[in-house]
């Protein structure tokens, strides 16, 4: 996977289009309708993973501290259906956490995780930080990752 860590203004129209197309494919077509463009993209970092042919296969967004939570937060975590089950989601999250650790050394990262992915995020070092709640019709919980 070739990784690209970009601010919103540097995505370009083609980069933005590919991100929104993958987000729509997964978050809207697979998971049901919700407002994906929530106004946080413009002030966020965007991590994109392309395969050897240049196709976008993995993506996440990092909101700076104070945008979604007091801490930096990772969200909109996606792997394309073609690479699911290959471990690319784990690689994507590790890459995102490494980027956060470089950007905000020594600071925690908070996520709003889908409840069904609690074990996945726990395996990456996240710990539950809230009770379960419903977001966009899907059970979620806040989880916190503390740097070691």
Fold category of 2-145 in CATH: Aminopeptidase (3.40.630)
pTM of full prediction above 0.85: yes
- Which residue positions in the chain have pLDDT lower than 70? 32-35
Report residue 123 as tokens.
């395996």
Q: Which residues pair with 78 in a beta bridge?
A: 59
Q: How far is CA 69 from CA 30, 62, 108, 110, in A?
A: 26, 11, 11, 7
| Residue 74: per-residue pLDDT | 98
Return the domain boundaries, the chain.
2-145
**Per-residue pLDDT, 148:** 80
Q: Which of 74, 80, 67, 69 is nearest to 126 (CA)?
A: 74
């Amino acid at each position: 996977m070739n990784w690209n860590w970009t601010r919103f203004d540097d995505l370009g129209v083609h980069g933005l289009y590919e991100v929104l197309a993958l987000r729509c494919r997964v978050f809207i077509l697979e998971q049901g309708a919700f407002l994906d463009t929530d106004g946080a993209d413009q002030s966020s970092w965007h991590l994109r993973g392309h395969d050897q042919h240049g196709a976008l296969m993995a993506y996440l967004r990092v909101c700076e501290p104070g945008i979604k939570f007091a801490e930096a937060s990772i969200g909109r975590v996606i792997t394309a259906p073609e690479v699911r089950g290959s471990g690319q989601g784990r690689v994507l999250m590790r890459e995102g956490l490494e980027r956060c650790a470089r950007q905000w050394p020594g600071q925690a990262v908070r996520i709003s995780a889908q409840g069904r992915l609690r074990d996945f995020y726990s395996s990456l070092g996240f710990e539950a930080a809230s009770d379960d709640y419903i977001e966009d019709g899907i059970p979620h919980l806040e989880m916190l990752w503390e740097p070691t």
